[in-house]
Structure 1
Amino acid sequence: MQRLPLPEQFQSIPKRQIDDYVEDDPDKHEGRLRSFPHERGNWVSFVYIPYKESYDSDLLCDLITDFYLPKLKMRRCEEPHVSLTKTFILMHHWIDQFILSVKSSVKMLPRFQLTFDTIKVYQNEEKNRTFLGLKVNLGNKELLNSLEVLREPFRDYKLDAFYQDPCFHMSIVWCPGDVKCQIEETLPILREKVNEFVKNRGGRNNLCTIFVDYYICKTGYKMYKLQLD
């Protein structure tokens, strides 16, 4: 049987290319390396609390990046957030039911407030990126309770997604490589400058505050809102 030609209006649309292997290019995403090999049908996911950046947070990032020049070229973190889980893999056919299960688990959790009281140095598990972040002060109890609630749906899918000893924080600037010791040498001076900045901006004892009424589960390019009570 002879195949009919493609209609003219569709001939200019490029064919979608699907590869089983995607080469990781750190230059395309700020030096980050993929923790999981790319496989078709596997969606890299995590649960987090989003933060809406403000004028004051922009100034704080500028203060920190300027402080470390020219020795270290610190860069702003895209879309700052507080992670509740490690990254984990969802099979594509799990996603809809998994999201329903997680939404059902967290919907009875009360809304709450997060505050941050100091700057600390953090690293990713591979130790190829070093971060400066704001450590959570008020709200740790609510976050730990949220993790307990989330464990059941994650356990149903046999997902290892929780830190053994979570230290809740929000990374705001980063630098490639393992430069933790180098940053910590001058951290007391930086903290003094940050405290002075907060005082001059009319702040009290908190560097930042987030009012939490939902979480986000990001899986691949999709984001799902997990509404709290």
Structure 2
Amino acid sequence: MALVDYSSSDSASEIDQPPAKRRKPAGAVAETKAGGNAASQDGDSALPPLPAEFHDLYASTVRTSTADDPTLHQGRKRSTPHMVGHWPSHVYIEWHPSASQHALLCTFVAEIASLLGSKKLNALLTSELHTPLPLHVSLSRPLSLTTAQKDGFLSDLTSSVASAATGGPFKLSPRGVGFFKSPDSDRAFLVLRVANPAASQDSTKNGKNPQLRALLTKCNAVAMRFDQKPLYQARATELIDDAFHVSIAWSFGLPPEEACLQTYEMLRRPEFRAIREWEIDVSGVKAKIGNVVTNVPLRDNSNSKSADADTLLE
């Protein structure tokens, strides 16, 4: 896949004859200097956007060790130790916040960090190279697939996600904030709880997250088929609906109770109310197996019968 689809006809045939320079009026020089930044920004915005698949090509960081080394990861340890011949895997929905959303999230995390005193809060928003990181909603626990399992797992997951009753792409919005203690490690995560904004207005029938629950059911079934533990095993609809979240920071252990209570109220503050109005577009589910990321698009299954019939006729 080409990174950017520029025409190859813009060739070097013109290199030997650079365009003639034009003399600018005296008044234009000052105007150019004053508006230089704006002109540069306009020029950048004219570039075609990178395709969504570009993010999947560079979804992994460079490995600097062949063994698990917590000192390379801020003291973190794998919940599932790495074994030769096994592929660390994860199923999730990916979200790339806009520049303005990223900036507000950074301010939001910094404000909460100030409530924790000596306990360090590690943001999950920016890489070591100071570039924004994608965020995600998990649809599986950390998985460990054998080489013999990984192709079958991806095939089954693709079929299951395609048949999930989501009605095609949908939207999510942040609905709350809090700390979540990981059952698999000693870390606590600062999370934004997410829900379908339309379903949240009338959650009496289908709950607040009908699409996420449908996807989770499919993903858990595939995981258990390959001897993996399911995610969110609670049977009550309301408990599962409130479990879906986006992690934005972490700390070792839960913060003091008073800090947690203050955190719960942060989205009510005027400067952070806009976060609840954000919409996260969900058009597919991603499966990361080792360093390979595969996007599985959602489809509207209301037309699935006719589509399947057409396929059989072909």
Same fold per TM (> 0.5)?
Answer: yes
Residue 227 of structure 1, aligned match among 297, 300, 312 = 297
TM-score, with structure 2 as normaliser: 0.58
Matched residue, 1:124: 182
Residue 59 of structure 1, aligned match among 86, 104, 110 = 104
Q: Which amino acid aligns with 2:95?
A: Y
More helix per residue: 2
Matched residue, 1:96: 151
Q: Does 2:246 align with 1:170?
A: yes
2-structure distance, mates of 1:157, 1:90: 8
C-alpha contact (below 8 Å) 2:140/2:220 kept by paired residues:
no
Cα shift readout 1:104-145 (whole Å, capped 9, x = no counterpart) = 111234221111111121121245222211111326111111
Tell me by how many angstroms 1:34 deviates.
0.9
C-alpha contact (below 8 Å) 2:79/2:185 kept by paired residues:
no
Tell me by how many angstroms 1:93 deviates.
2.2
Gaps of 5+ in 2: 1-64, 126-133, 197-207, 235-239, 300-314
Aligned residues: 203
Q: Which amino acid aligns with 2:281?
A: F
Q: Which has the larger radius of gyration?
A: 2
| SS in structure 1 of the partner of residue 227 of structure 2 | coil
Residue 191 of structure 1, aligned match among 248, 267, 276 = 267
Residue 276 of structure 2, aligned match among 202, 206, 217 = 206
TM-score, with structure 1 as normaliser: 0.77
More strand per residue: 1
2-structure distance, mates of 1:186, 1:163: 26
Residue 144 of structure 1, aligned match among 210, 213, 224 = 213
Matched residue, 1:134: 192
Q: Does 2:93 align with 1:49?
A: yes
| SS in structure 2 of the partner of residue 86 of structure 1 | coil
Cα shift readout 1:62-93 (whole Å, capped 9, x = no counterpart) = 23313433714322215321001111211012
Identity of aligned residues (%): 27
Tell me by how many angstroms 1:182 deviates.
5.2
Tell me by how many angstroms 1:97 deviates.
2.1
Cα shift readout 1:134-171 (whole Å, capped 9, x = no counterpart) = 11132611111112223443333222232213410101
Matched residue, 1:87: 142
C-alpha contact (below 8 Å) 1:121/1:183 kept by paired residues:
no
Q: Which amino acid aligns with 2:153?
A: F
Q: Does 2:75 align with 1:75?
A: no
2-structure distance, mates of 1:182, 1:37: 34
1-structure distance, mates of 2:222, 2:229: 11
- Aligned runs of 1:20-59 on 2, under 5 Å? 23-54=67-98, 55-59=100-104
Q: Does 2:255 align with 1:179?
A: yes
| SS in structure 2 of the partner of residue 122 of structure 1 | strand
Cα shift readout 1:150-199 (whole Å, capped 9, x = no counterpart) = 34433332222322134101011222333263531422453333xx1244
For the aligned residues, what is the CA RMSD?
2.5
Gaps of 5+ in 1: 1-20
Residues 1:93 and 1:114: Cα distance change in structure 2 (over 3 Å): same
Identify the structure with bigger relative contact order (alpha carbons < 8 Å, sequence gap 6+): 1
Cα shift readout 1:34-70 (whole Å, capped 9, x = no counterpart) = 1122211111211100010222233222233134337
